Structure 1
Amino acid sequence: MICPIHPGKKINVICIEPHGCQKKLCSECQYYHGGDTKQYLPFQRVLNKLKLKSEEFQLYKQQLKEKFTFPDLIKQIDYQLIGVWKDLRESFQKINEGIEDQDIIYLNLMNSGLSPSEYSYSDLEILINILQTDELNNWNKSKSHYFNQSQQATLMLKSEVEKLQQFITEQFQGVLAYKKQQEYDGFLDAKSKSTKTKCQIIYTKFNEIQYKCNGEILQTIIIYDLLNKPQIIKNLDVLKHVHWKGELGNDYKKVGLWTAEWMDTKQIVSCGSYSQNGMKYGYWIEMVKDYFQEMNLLEVGEYVNNLRQGTWKYCYNFEYMYQF
């Protein structure tokens, strides 16, 4: 491949430093580019390193598959639920069919139109019991009992299914959110909340979401929490202009000091610390719910295990105003 900057010179190396150079360099480009020669790799070296990275990636992928078998577990749970539901449905059906069959036996005997002499001895015995005893009343009583128990079982099943649905909805909000685009009303003017507009939370990749409003992407974030649904930020100025900085722990929970800046002015609008378990603790400065940058009204107080404690104060530009 010929260098587009130096005609007649062949591109023979790739710059692997993570900066904004042209990457593909000829010998003359290298001279003007400068820097450590170790940052230049011939094409074959690049391919060899990529092959090694690919092998490491494939090995780790296989190790994860062996360690985490959740796709197989999901299938197993699916089969279990389908199997239990099939058995239950068939059992209810057999109970109803058994009751219906016995009703038909009684009705056929009573409405056959045959002479008593034409009945078998066993059928005649049943007919005599119908005429002379409480055979039908006892059967109707038994039917009522079976239907009552079946209804109780059905209502119990319905209640447990609703509990399961509620449990899944509450505990797996983040997972369930992947299925759909969420819409909500945001507001552009935090002072009056008068300018409402439709906003969307859209999953663009399996772990990336975008907050959009009127076709504009206000923020794109990487998510690591599959159990909780994404936070809905209705204040669109905050969504668009506030940027958080901090570190993530090994399990991708926030740890240590985190600060939020208003991107245009670099002004701190929130800050505080997270424990190793991702819980807020100690003193925090936070934006008020309907924050707007011109006023810069903040709240100051203490967190213990992610819960607010004691007296919190309003402050304006870090000057205390009053308590609440």
Structure 2
Amino acid sequence: MGNICSNVSKKEIKFKPIIIEDISDDRNRKSQQSLIGNFNNIQQYEFSFKDPSSFRTIRSKFQIVLIEENQFMYIFDGQILKIDQVEKISKIPEFSNNLEQIKYLQQIEDYGSDQQKYFKQVSYWQGQQLNQVGGFYSKDGGKQGLWKETFKNFKIKALVYFFGEYLNNQKIGKWRYIYKNQKMQKQNILEVVVDFTINQAKQLVNGLN
């Protein structure tokens, strides 16, 4: 099923450019508070992350505000992290609770002609396309065929992906886990956690980003 959409051409994109805005000063803060107060559809999500200095898990919350039917924004600690404008929404938006993915991950959909049954999604991290990450949607919004997806609990530096097949928006068959371009078994995820934590510690000691 991976070849069903090889002739898809770029016609329009799902997401318009990300808007990053600092609302820390009083004037902007007051205007944003007034703006946000007009919305009834505000959802709060919890996320967790590792403190690299103590390796403790820290929990916090952010808000997702539906501005219009096709536009929503992420807010964290008084700052708008991202505003996504959806041209053609794929059923229900998939909201991430990974703070780095919210800030840096952008998913774009390429549409062919109206006669085509499928359209393609590709992924970018800080403006750089991720190699073969994404897959195909049917026109009714369901995932179809082969997909390569990011592991939602990790930063981009971990390079952990899932690879497998969808049928009518449901995962089917055997899914593979890929870490540093190597196939791995599901039970080896713990090894990835240990490896990634060690790398974080080394970067902290050496003053690396």
State the TM-score bracket (shorter-chain normalisation): 0.5 to 0.7
Which letter does structure 1 place at the counterpart of 2:119?
G
Mark the structure with the bigger radius of gyration: 1
**1:267 alignment partner in structure 2:** 130
**84, 95, 104: which is aligned to 1:232?**
95
Higher strand share: 2
Which letter does structure 1 place at the counterpart of 2:76?
C
Which letter does structure 2 place at the counterpart of 1:289?
K
1:270 and 1:248, CA in 2 relative to 1: closer, same or farther beyond 3 A?
A: same
1:181 aligns with 2:46: no
1:217 aligns with 2:76: no
How far is 1:323 from its partner? Answer: 5.5
Contact 1:212 1:218 (8 Å CA) reproduced? yes
Residues 111-156 of structure 1 show CA distances to partners (whole Å, capped at 9, x for unaligned) of xxxxxxxxxxxxxxxxxxxxxxxxxxxxxxxxxxxxxxxxxxxxxx
Q: Which secondary structure state, in structure 1, belongs to the residue aligned with residue 140 of structure 2?
A: coil
**1:312 alignment partner in structure 2:** 175
**In 1: Cα distance, 2:130 partner to 2:91 partner:** 32
**In 2: Cα distance, 1:221 partner to 1:237 partner:** 15
- Unaligned 5+ segments in structure 2 are 1-38, 188-209
Contact 1:262 1:269 (8 Å CA) reproduced? no
Contact 1:255 1:278 (8 Å CA) reproduced? no
Q: TM-score, normalised by structure 1?
A: 0.39
**In 1: Cα distance, 2:138 partner to 2:90 partner:** 20
Residues 77-116 of structure 1 show CA distances to partners (whole Å, capped at 9, x for unaligned) of xxxxxxxxxxxxxxxxxxxxxxxxxxxxxxxxxxxxxxxx
How far is 1:269 from its partner? Answer: 7.2
How far is 1:255 from its partner? Answer: 4.1
Higher helix share: 1
**In 2: Cα distance, 1:282 partner to 1:210 partner:** 30
**268, 272, 278: which is aligned to 2:141?**
278
**In 1: Cα distance, 2:130 partner to 2:121 partner:** 14
**In 2: Cα distance, 1:319 partner to 1:195 partner:** 30
Contact 1:261 1:267 (8 Å CA) reproduced? yes
Which letter does structure 2 place at the counterpart of 1:187?
S
1:320 and 1:193, CA in 2 relative to 1: closer, same or farther beyond 3 A?
A: farther
How far is 1:183 from its partner? Answer: 1.4
1:187 and 1:268, CA in 2 relative to 1: closer, same or farther beyond 3 A?
A: farther
Aligned residue pair count:
144
1:193 and 1:247, CA in 2 relative to 1: closer, same or farther beyond 3 A?
A: farther
**In 2: Cα distance, 1:202 partner to 1:193 partner:** 29
1:322 aligns with 2:156: no
How far is 1:202 from its partner? Answer: 1.7
Contact 1:247 1:255 (8 Å CA) reproduced? no
- Unaligned 5+ segments in structure 1 are 1-177
Which letter does structure 2 place at the counterpart of 1:242?
L
Contact 2:109 2:121 (8 Å CA) reproduced? yes
Higher RCO (CA-CA < 8 Å; seq separation 6+): 2
**2:27 alignment partner in structure 1:** none
Q: Which secondary structure state, in structure 1, belongs to the residue aligned with residue 157 of structure 2?
A: coil
Identity of aligned residues (%): 26
How far is 1:190 from its partner? Answer: 9.7
Q: TM-score, normalised by structure 2?
A: 0.57
